Structure 1
Amino acid sequence: MCLAALFSVFAGCTAKNDETETEGKAAISFVDDDGYQINLGAPAKKIISMYSAHTENLYALGAGEQVIGGHTTCIFPAEAAPKATYDYQGDPEYVIAAEPDLVLIRPRISRAAPEFVESLRNAGITVVSLYPNTLDAFPDYINKLAALAGKEEKAEELLKVFDAGLNEISDLTSKAEDKQTVFFESTEVNIRTVAEGSMPDMAIKFAGGKNIAQGALPMTEGSSIAEFGAERVLENGEGIDVYVSQRGAMNAGGNLQSISERPGFDTVSAVKNGRVYVINEKLISSPTFRYVKGVNELARFMYPEIMDDVSAYISDEPATKRDFANLITRCLHIPVYVPSSSKYYLENRDTHTYGMFEDIHWYDHDFDYIETAVYSGYVSWRKGEDGKEYFDPDSGVTREGLAKTVFIAGDFSAKEANTAISDLGKCGNKRIVQILVDNGVFELDENGSFLPDKQVTHNEIIQALRFVK
């Protein structure tokens, strides 16, 4: 037996289709997606992930502390970004020097950098290649990933939540009487779409939509990309209710401006009606638990009256900032914000940094809507004396705070005649308050006072946001 093969046996990874005595006796045993028999005596404690989806899923499984590094594109959750970064196009010695007991890759990496992968195996490092080509393969992929990290019970729990989330969205959109037809642009080059059965195609179905490119075939075996073209888009233009463009490092569709400026695209119903949306590929094409959020976004694009319904918030109870962020994102139908650049956390900024709130974690139920409302500039945040960022989700919302948000989000003009406001001098944003009172957005009390510091209710927020056009 050659030295490389011997190392492979000790590391738990044997050559393709090589039956060994350890198979069946190992605590963890399966064939990976490159055809290698994997045998591990125990879960890995030092993992390097060369694919962002693996990293994200490991954190979701509760194995984040076992991840000692990842590829340069691993930026979600935010706590994964500062860890050591590696590039499979670089020197494998950097990975070898970190002494991981497991390196996770996917078949694309094996094809793109075979010498890099072979160097790791020759150094005695266990390399496991995983990637689910279809949504049906997602549970098996997660279960293998969980086994490698010793998180099988958590995987079972999360997969149940995953399925329940998809079913809940489907149940909600099934109530829509007018089923929406969607064109999904996967790449701006040649206006390509997605293949039937791909994750984005399935997402359209889960979201209650009809794919105008139904039956599109993959460009190559295993690809999610399919040919379509501008000519066919225009041929079907009147029947396209919603136009969705996928944006990201791997596949980049057009942006809102470029799509609307294409010759003839002004005849497409979705373009004419302002129903062109951009979605981050990480939410819709990447095999992670956030796929449910991507499906939810598609459903929001198609059926905002159902998915952004705020009837559960109707109340005269005082609203918190958490409530405020939810109501803003829903009432204004703002697509959720997700950073797309792998260099996002390397950039210096004076504004809030995505995912860095000390009091709102990435697994918080309202994380996306809070981050979106803050990123849009509609909800305030603060930097503490410790230099860390805080959202203060349970604090209240004042009338003046609501006024500032409504003014920024809306389009209001000053009136020639001004309503007398007895306590205008107590307002920090006098001009904003005056304009909104004059436009009928806010009423004064019996003493003609605005009461800038008074906490607002859910109903007051909903009512004020109705003035935003």
Structure 2
Amino acid sequence: MKRHGVLLVFVLLLTLVLGACAQPATPAATPTASPIVMTDGLGRTVTLAAPAQRVISLAPSNTEILYAVGAGSQVVGRDNFSNYPPEALELPGLGDFMGFSIEQIVALNPDLVLLAEIHPPELVKSLEDAGLTVFYLKNPLTMEEMYPMLITVGELTGHKAEAETLVTQLSVRVAAVQQKLANIEERPTVFYEIDGTDPSKPWTTGNGTFIDTLLEMAKAENVGRAMGSQYGQMSIEALLEADPDFILLGDANFGVTPEQVAARPGWGELTAVKEGRVLPFNDDLASRPGPRLVDGLEELARILHAVPVP
């Protein structure tokens, strides 16, 4: 009997131990992602609970940045002028600077709408009144200002590491151009045409624009600086006096050709026309503050100084 009692106690103890071992372990607490809190170009504090997965871009520069940092698959809508990269054209167009369809934007259920300096603050309010989260990117004027903007978009979309890699690649390319131009002392003069619809007073770019910044970086002098404003019309008389070495046609995107320029009244007297240095230039590479500005810098180095840049 004593032997049976001891055995019974042993079985009971073993059952308790095994039962305790069989209890499911208490799950460890799952860490929650910290919200993304950033200040935009209007000084507004913008908060996202998590990286945006459905983004609408209402500026071509923003669209290019989103694809460049690896967030292209998260873009669900665009402005009508966003045409790069080509796959962006497959997205629904939602309007342009003449006006956007707030109803269409809301219907796409975005968790972030990305604006740029081309948009008035009133558009921010309209979108926020519709219950949307809006981030406003201010235009940079230098490469050093542009790089952090790329990282900002990377953070907003969960691609910070890719954005940082992109910035490194771009800065290496810029440094390569600067090194190749380092010993150039003679700076060619350039007239950059934005709109030559009125040949007697073509529109150009002055100081305080990225086009002017790129020309400066490319060791050239922008004759448009004489206007004393960011953008304006330069008279044919002032242009003849400046007599630029090169005329770059930013309006070539709209069909303007060197032959048409040569046929304009009075333009045949310009040195750039006489010597065949009126050249088309892809304005998207100079006017959209994004990664392709580096492409624009490389192209200017090739055109103005015959520098081979890969």
TM-score, scaled relative to structure 2: 0.79
Provide the rounded CA distance (Å) in 2 between the counterparts of 1:133 and 1:31: 15
Preserved contact between residue 62 and residue 116 of structure 2 (Cα < 8 Å) = no
2:305 alignment counterpart: 303
**Counterpart residue number, 2:5:** none
2-structure distance, mates of 1:46, 1:121: 16
Q: Are the aligned partners of 1:203 and 1:295 in contact in 2 as well (CA < 8 Å)?
A: yes
> What does 1:157-172 align with in structure 2 at a 5 Å threshold?
157-172=165-180
Change in Cα spacing, 1:248 to 1:277, as seen in structure 2 (3 Å) is closer
Alignment check: 8 A CA contact 1:187 1:254 kept: no
Q: 2:284 aligned to 282, 285, 291, which one?
A: 282
Give the match for residue 88 of structure 2. Answer: 80
Aligned to 2:137: 130
Comparing 59-68 with 263-272, greater Cα deviation is found at 263-272
Change in CA separation of 1:248 and 1:93 when aligned onto 2, cut-off 3 Å: farther
SS where residue 109 of structure 1 aligns?
A: coil
Higher RCO by CA contacts (8 Å cutoff, separation 6 or greater): 2
Alignment of 1:193-342 (within 5 A): 193-214=204-225, 216-218=227-229, 224-237=230-243, 240-247=244-251, 255-304=257-306, 306-307=307-308
Partner of 2:191: 183
Equivalent residues, number: 272
| Counterpart-to-counterpart distance in 2, 1:168 and 1:215 | 30
Change beyond 3 A, Cα 1:269–1:174: farther
Whole-angstrom CA distance in 1 between matches of 2:242 and 2:77: 46
What's the offset of the Cα at 1:226? Answer: 3.8
Letter in 2 for 1:183: F
Correspondence for 1:50 among 47, 58, 65? 58
| 2:109 maps to 1:99 | yes
Change (3 A) 1:205 1:118: closer
Structure 1 spans left out of the alignment, 5+ residues: 1-24, 219-223, 309-364, 366-469
Q: CA deviation at 1:258?
A: 2.9
Partner SS for 1:59: helix
**Structure (1 or 2) with the larger CA radius of gyration:** 2
Unaligned runs of 5+ in 2: 1-32
TM superposition shift of 1:79: 1.2
CA distance in 2 between partners of 1:204 and 1:63 (Å) = 30
Q: Please, what TM-score do these two structures have when normalized by structure 1?
A: 0.54
* Counterpart secondary structure, 1:137: helix
TM-aligned CA distance change 1:259 to 1:211, over 3 Å: same
After superposition, residues 147-158 of structure 1 pair within 5 angstroms as 147-158=155-166
Counting aligned pairs with the same residue, the percent is 29
SS at match of 1:80: helix
Q: Which amino acid aligns with 2:275?
A: N
Question: Structure 1 pair 292/107, CA: closer, same or farther in 2 (3 Å)?
Answer: closer
Distance (Å, rounded) in 2 between the aligned partners of 1:287 and 1:244: 19
Q: Give the SS at the match of 2:165.
A: helix
User: Do the aligned residues in 1 keep the contact of 2:147 with 2:167 (CA within 8 Å)?
Assistant: yes
Where 1:29 maps in the other structure, the secondary structure is: strand
Partner Cα distance (2:234, 2:60) in 1:
28
Change (3 A) 1:216 1:147: farther
CA positional deviation for 1:47: 0.5
Letter in 2 for 1:39: T
